[in-house]
């Protein structure tokens, strides 16, 4: 049986605003139940305003549910002390790495989290070195972060989370502000951390080609989970995804339009399928 690391039980979250001197609640998530298992790589998809970023922030106690319960390894973060425990288990990486980088030297930035945890200096040194090596940024340890590319900055932000030895990393659209090269750097890092180090990954994204690389895809629409399954299963439902305002990978789209196969996930699969059909016709 898979070990649960994050569990949502009938979770509702509403943002509150003041209108005409009276508070008004706007639900961002409604009655959401979801389990993330240890070692999984889960992609969360949804159009702007769907509630996917709210879901991400509930995973590490940045937000508290209005109703329902979020449990992280058996801990319900209903006090500040328990919320701190949760954040030691689940780290968060945001869209803009500049918002997470706090030091003027790369290795000092990565050391910031462990220092706040009161870790011994010798252990911090080891954690920083190991974390930077794990994201292929060790050679940049003495650089100034503002001189790095967007992809490199994001990898430093990920290293900062790794140095705190979190078991799970939640990434909220980490590649949204990056160019294609930076996106590829970050995705390679995320996949390596998941497959080689066993770190649980929750990736909030609007890039379909990133979502197909996950073990599981969760689609959020109108604050509710509307699809939840393996990438091939999810992307076989092209019209259903479109009804939620989402695209599909180009290879999936091409095969769908040609009517040759549903659930093709990438260029190689698309080429293989077209070649198979062409060969069969000869």
* Residue 281 scores a pLDDT above 80: no
Q: Residue 199 class from Cβ within 10 Å (0-12 exposed, 13-18 middle, 19+ buried)?
A: buried
* Cα dihedral sign, 7-12-18-23: negative
- Indicate whether 191 pLDDT > 70: yes
- Looking at the domain covering 4-248, what would its CATH class be? alpha beta
Quick check: 171 pLDDT over 90?
yes
What's the pLDDT tens digit per position in 7-59?
999 999 998 876 666 677 788 999 999 999 999 999 999 998 899 999 999 99
Q: 133 is written with which tokens?
A: 């090596």
**Residue 280 confidence class, pLDDT cut points 50, 70, 90:** low
Chain segment 257-278, per-residue pLDDT in tens: 777 777 777 788 878 877 777 7
Closest CA to 35 of 174, 200, 206: 200
Band (pLDDT 50/70/90 cuts) for residue 282 is very low
């Amino acid at each position: 049986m898979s070990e649960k690391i994050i569990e949502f039980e009938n979770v509702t979250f509403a943002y509150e605003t003041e209108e005409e001197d009276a508070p008004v609640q706007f639900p961002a998530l409604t009655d959401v139940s979801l389990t993330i298992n240890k070692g999984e790589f889960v992609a969360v998809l949804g159009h702007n305003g769907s509630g996917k970023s709210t879901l991400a922030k509930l995973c590490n106690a940045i937000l508290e549910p209005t109703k329902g319960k979020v449990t992280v390894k058996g801990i319900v973060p209903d006090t500040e002390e328990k919320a701190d425990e949760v954040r030691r288990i689940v780290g968060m990486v945001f869209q803009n790495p500049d918002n997470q980088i706090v030091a003027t030297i790369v290795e000092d930035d990565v050391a910031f989290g462990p220092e706040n945890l009161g870790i011994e200096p010798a252990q911090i040194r080891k954690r920083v070195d190991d974390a930077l090596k794990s994201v292929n940024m060790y050679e940049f340890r003495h650089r100034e972060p503002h001189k790095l590319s967007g992809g490199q900055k994001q990898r430093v932000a990920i290293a900062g989370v790794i140095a705190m030895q979190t078991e799970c990393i939640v990434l909220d659209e980490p590649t949204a502000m990056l160019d294609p090269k930076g996106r590829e750097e970050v995705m390679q890092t995320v996949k390596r951390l998941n497959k080689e180090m066993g770190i649980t990954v929750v990736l909030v994204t609007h890039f379909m080609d990133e979502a197909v690389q996950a073990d599981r895809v969760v689609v959020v629409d109108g604050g509710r989970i509307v699809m939840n399954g393996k990438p091939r299963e999810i992307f076989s439902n092209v019209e259903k995804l479109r009804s939620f305002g989402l695209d599909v990978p180009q290879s999936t789209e091409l095969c769908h339009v040609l009517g040759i196969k549903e659930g093709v996930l990438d260029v190689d699969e698309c080429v293989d399928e077209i070649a198979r059909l062409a060969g069969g016709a000869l």
